[in-house]
Amino acid sequence: MLITNHVLSGALIGAAAENPAAALPLGAASHFALDALPHWGTWLSRSHFLRVAVADGLTGLAVMGAAAAVTPPARRAAVIAGMVGAAVPDLDKPTRIFFGFSPFPRRVDEFHSRIQDEAPGRFYSHELVAGALFAGGFAALTAAARLRARKRAADADAGAGEGASAETDVPPEISGRTGARVRAGLGARAKEAASLLAPLRQRL
């Protein structure tokens, strides 16, 4: 399968994973699972392979950068770990092209090439469809994560502005810490008022 699609599926896994330590091995496992599914491959010539591989490698790198950039900071490490895990098994492609060797044990390389279900003419029907699904899933999870991050930031802002909110008519039944602080503020204000009224009451 194209490295771009491995990167996209790794991004999706990272966006869904608990943390980076879970995303990394899940991403690597997804690589072999996807290579075992029907995908585009079997090139006409070495130059054809190189054309596809270079375009795919550069697209994959660009997708990595873009996915990391749009992910909120709290989720970014997991997304990067998922993408790296999913891309690493194909590291033997560039090292073979540039240095003529694979960094992996022979058993791994043999397994990796044995599981391939490749055929020509599957770019649109398989690769593009898979890529769109992974990208769509990643976009949905990332949009949700960004909304959560924005809400947390808004809640934190509201918490910081509490001193002022005690002066306004925020209902004291608001739950949680904010509510407790508002109630304490109102209590202090009531005591203040009572102490101001005390001399007046004595005179009456």
Q: Which residues bind Zn ion (CB under 5 A)?
A: 35, 90
Question: 5 vs 71, which CB is nearer to Zn ion?
Answer: 5
Show the tokens assigned to 26: 């899940």
Whether the Cβ atoms of residue 145 and residue 73 lie closer than 8 Å to each other: no
Question: 118 vs 162, which CB is nearer to Zn ion?
Answer: 118
Distance CA 101, CA 93 (A): 9
Question: 83 vs 170, which CB is nearer to Zn ion?
Answer: 83
Whether the Cβ atoms of residue 22 and residue 5 lie closer than 8 Å to each other: no
- Please report how close the Cβ of residue 121 comes to Zn ion at its closest, in angstroms: 19
- Please report how close the Cβ of residue 61 comes to Zn ion at its closest, in angstroms: 16
Question: 9 vs 142, which CB is nearer to Zn ion?
Answer: 9
- Please report how close the Cβ of residue 63 comes to Zn ion at its closest, in angstroms: 16
DSSP-assigned letters across all residues of 156-189: HHHHHTHHHHTTTT--TT--HHHHHHHHHHHHHH
Residue of minimal CB distance from Zn ion? Answer: 35
Question: 20 vs 41, which CB is nearer to Zn ion?
Answer: 41
Q: How many residues does the chain have?
A: 204
Per the DSSP assignment, residues forming a β-bridge with 117 are 38
- Please report how close the Cβ of residue 16 comes to Zn ion at its closest, in angstroms: 21
- Please report how close the Cβ of residue 101 comes to Zn ion at its closest, in angstroms: 17
Compute CA distances 76 → 24, 62, 146, 198, whole Å: 13, 16, 11, 59
